[in-house]
Amino acid sequence: MLDGENIHLTAEAVHSRAQQLLPEISLATVYNTLNELVSMGEVVEVPGFPGAKRYDPNAHLPHHHLVCTACGELRDVFFSGAEALDLSETERHGFEVHSVQIVFEGLCPACR
């Protein structure tokens, strides 16, 4: 269901795909499973995305996201320099930072 590069499905889309294999599966089961996969670190919930939550199965390869603010197209992006992003001790406010997630927003070629 959640497999491949640039796959960022909503729970409803996962549910629709799952019903092809298991017609009796409920949307609640899909939500519960996705939440469990997020807590296990197997799936990433894409932050800052308007509308329905989107889920990214590409949880083990560090990357960020590019989203079209008009149509919602969502792409994985890999850029150099991400490792240099850091916060000073003061800016961390006592937090222990485990990861950084960046969402670039703009217009895709089709929406420009």
Residue 49 lies in a domain: yes
Q: How far is it, in rounded angstroms, from Cα 77 to Cα 66?
A: 7
User: Do 17 and 4 form a contact (C-beta atoms < 8 A)?
Assistant: no
Supply φ then ψ for residue 96, to 5 degrees. Answer: -100, 110
* Any domain includes 90: yes
Query: What pLDDT does 3 receive?
Result: 63
Number of domains the chain contains = 1
Domain carrying residue 44: 11-106
Q: Is residue 42 part of a domain?
A: yes
Residue at 46 is within a domain: yes
* Residue in this structure with the two tokens 């640039």, named with its chain if needed: 6
Residue 80 lies in a domain: yes
Is the pTM higher than 0.85? The answer reads no
| 56 three-state secondary structure | strand
Q: What is the pLDDT of residues 37-56, one digit of tens each?
A: 999 999 988 876 667 889 99
Q: Would 2 be classed as within a structural domain?
A: no
